[in-house]
Structure formats: structure tokens, C-alpha cells
Amino acid sequence: MKIKSVALVYKKSSYELYAKVRKDHHFLNLIERAHPIIGRFVPSHDAHEASVNEVRSILKKMNIRVKNVYRAKSFSEKGLDLVITVGGDGTFLDASHSVSSVPILGVNSNPDDSVGMFCGVTSQTLESYLHLMIEDRVSPTKMTRLKIQTDSRQIQTPVLNDILITNSTPAATSRIEIVSGQVREEIKCSGIWISPAAGSTAGIRSAGGKILPIESKRFQFLVREPYLLPGHKSKLISKILKPQETLTVYSKMRTGGIYLDGSHRSHRFPLGEKAMISTKAPILVVYGFNKRRRALFK
């Protein structure tokens, strides 16, 4: 493949955000006291900065044009051959929301302290991996993503990891109505996870969901902590859906919320609102997926 122009999507470390950018007094006080709770922050910051600098140096050496993008910003794919993220899975997920047709490659900037499921390449292995890509000697992993549409909007964010529909107040009961096929049920719970295959080793797995093969086109949902009266059963606590199916969820909450791939992207889900979830989002073409790390979950 041709790699002449890339977007380099980077994160700012927790140390940089709280100590340098926001100058958070509480955080600075913890640093001054050498509090053990933040003992890893400075080493993690140093490792991340070194990785970012090394990645930029490699791209310059290979005469690849670079468009630098902070992870919190959206960007256009126009004119790009590849998107490279430097950070961890959170940075990768944030960047993926702006990607529909260009391949993406995740570089784990701190592999000693990061899961990096989507980031199987490091700054030390990046140059050789890019050459393998250019020579078409490595194949990408094609990942299904979810599309979500509500009564009031068609949400543009394609979801790779998971959707969480819940009450925006964590201690409050989530009241939802679920429709799947011909079955319709009202459920009280702490929320509902909806996840494609790529996210099936994340939050939904911790809640009891099934691990799907990484390139599976199916998706699943799982209700968190359902409240069922003794003797009552539900048919819609969890289910794996076919690619052509749609899951519908109605809000019976005044303060419901929809959270996409974590907490950074969210939408209100007020009383009476309907959300429809399908696999109609663009497939994500991923290079450098960490298959060894994922195999640990089998």
C-alpha cells in the first residue's frame, strides 16, 4: 500500500493534563508530597513523550507527511493514506470516530502500563511494520462497528467498542424497554451494554457477555444487574444478534444517557426516546491489532 500522508493522533498524558495544562492544585499538591497514588504518572508521561517523539522521527525519516491531531479533536480523512494513533486503546477509539475509509494503525506508547488491545505496535517496531505495510506483507483486520440512531438525531459516531445506555446518575435505576425481533420487555437495571465483536472482551465481557471472533459481523447486548422479582424470568437479558438485525431500546428515564466507546462521547436519552442500533456503520480496517493480547481472553 501507499503511505505518503498520515494523521498522527496523540494523547496528552494524565501528568501533562493535570500538572501542566490545567495546573490542578490538588494534583500538584500530591506531586509535592510524593503521594504513592500518583507514583506511576511521571514515568508513564516520560514513556509516552519518548514514544511520540520516536514516531515523529520515524515518519520524518520515511518522508511521510504528518498531520498532527490531538485525540479530543475530530479530523477529515481527505488526502490521508493512513491514520496512526499514539497512546492506548482510548486514543485509538477516539481517533476511530473520525475514520470511515482510511486504514488505522495503533501504536502503544506505554506497553508496560497499557492494555493496548488495538495497539499491537510500539515505537520500537513501527518502522519495520510500516515497511511491511508498504510491501503488502501484512494483512489488516476488518472490524464491524455499530450505528445508533434516535428519534431526535442520527448519531454520526461509529462505535467500535461498546454502547452503554444507562441513567446519567450512576446510583439511579435505569428503566428501559427492549425490543428484539418479536419480543418486547420492560426492564429495571443499571444499564444495557451493546457491543460488536471488537468490544466483546471489554466491559460487556466483565458483565458476563460472550467473546465473539474479532472479525465476526454479529453483535450482542447484555443487561447489567437486572432487577427481577422472585419467580420472574426475562427473555431479553442478553442475546447475540445477526448482522441484519436491529436492536431497539426505549427510554423510561427522565435523565437517561447514551455513552459511546467510553465517557468522552455521550448523548441525552430522555423519557420516551427510541434508540435503534445496527451494524450499518462503516467497517474499520485495522493494522497492528494485538492478537496475542486478545488470545489471553479465550
- Give dist(CA 101, CA 104) in Å, integer: 9
Q: Which three cell numbers stand for residue 227?
A: 432487577
- Chain Cα centroid distance, residue 200: 11
Amino acid (one-letter) located at 279: T
Q: What CATH number does residue 241 fall under?
A: 2.60.200.30
Q: Which residues are catalytic?
A: 89
Range list of β-strands (E), the chain: 5-10, 65-70, 82-87, 104-108, 141-143, 147-150, 163-167, 174-180, 183-189, 191-196, 219-224, 238-241, 247-251, 256-260, 265-269, 274-278, 284-287
- Give dist(CA 112, CA 122) in Å, integer: 11
- pLDDT at position 168 is 97
Do residues 272 and 198 share a domain?
yes
Cα first-last separation, the chain = 32
Q: What CATH number does residue 77 fall under?
A: 3.40.50.10330
Do residues 132 and 195 share a domain?
no
Strands 274-278 vs 147-150: parallel, antiparallel or unpaired:
antiparallel
288 close to 121: Cβ distance less than 8 angstroms: yes
- Percent of the chain that is helix, strand, coil (3-state, to 5): 25, 30, 45
Do residues 222 and 107 share a domain?
no
> Which residues are within 8 A (CB) of 204 and not within 5 positions of it... i.e. 6 or more apart?
162, 193, 195, 220, 222
Nearest to 162 by CA among 196, 209, 191, 190: 196
Do residues 12 and 136 share a domain?
yes
Q: Which three cell numbers stand for residue 242?
A: 445477526
- What DSSP designation does 173 have? P
Do residues 65 and 139 share a domain?
yes
Do residues 270 and 184 share a domain?
yes
Number of domains in the chain: 2
- pLDDT at position 115 is 83
Do residues 35 and 139 share a domain?
yes
Do residues 133 and 198 share a domain?
no
97 close to 161: Cβ distance less than 8 angstroms: no
What is the four-CA torsion angle of 78, 79, 82, 86, rounded to 10 degrees?
-70
Condensed to tens digits (0 to 9), the pLDDT of residues 13-52 reads 999 999 999 999 999 999 999 999 999 999 999 999 999 9
- pLDDT at position 297 is 86
Strands 65-70 vs 82-87: parallel, antiparallel or unpaired:
unpaired
Do residues 59 and 189 share a domain?
no
User: Which residue positions in the chain have pLDDT lower than 70?
Assistant: none
160 close to 198: Cβ distance less than 8 angstroms: yes
- The full DSSP string for 13-47 is -HHIIIIIIS--HHHHHHHHTT-GGGTTHHHHHHH
- Give dist(CA 297, CA 121) in Å, integer: 19
Q: Which three cell numbers stand for residue 229?
A: 422479582
- pLDDT at position 113 is 83
222 close to 190: Cβ distance less than 8 angstroms: no
Domain hosting residue 221, numbered range? 147-278
Do residues 131 and 249 share a domain?
no
- pLDDT at position 141 is 98
Do residues 249 and 186 share a domain?
yes
Do residues 58 and 134 share a domain?
yes
Amino acid (one-letter) located at 243: P
